[in-house]
Amino acid sequence: MYDLKCGQKNCKYNHGYCCCAKDIAVSSGTFCTTYSKSENADNMTEASVEFTKPDNSVDTAVCCNAPCLFNHSTRCIANGITVSTADDGSAECLTFIKK
């Protein structure tokens, strides 16, 4: 999947709001379990991710365990997904549509 937007600004795979991980996993609770806090996240400013050049060339495989309309045999078949920060600070899939 090339269209994987990430609003989790302090994730080490987030480059200009694009996820650059080779693959990610979404839990049954719709959380991105691949999220990993950047080592220099504490030194980042609020706008630093916005100034990073997006990398739309990464074809990310999305393994999904959520009861979602786009989950086909644990593989996300959506054209793209958006991951953002949940209320508790974790990374959550916003594209989730309950079956």
pLDDT, tens digit (0-9, with 9 covering 90-100), for 25-69: 999 999 999 999 988 755 454 445 455 565 566 789 999 999 999
User: How many C-beta atoms lie closer than 10 Å to residue 28's C-beta?
Assistant: 11
Instruction: Evaluate whether 91 touches 32 at the Cβ level (below 8 Å).
Output: yes
pLDDT at residue 54 in the model? 59
Please provide the average confidence, as pLDDT, over all residues in the chain. Answer: 87
Torsion of CA 3, 13, 42, 33, to 10 degrees: 90
Predicted local confidence at residue 79, as pLDDT: 93
* pLDDT exceeds 70 at position 75: yes
CB 33 within 8 A of CB 26: yes
Per-residue pLDDT at 2 = 87
| pTM, 2 dp | 0.81
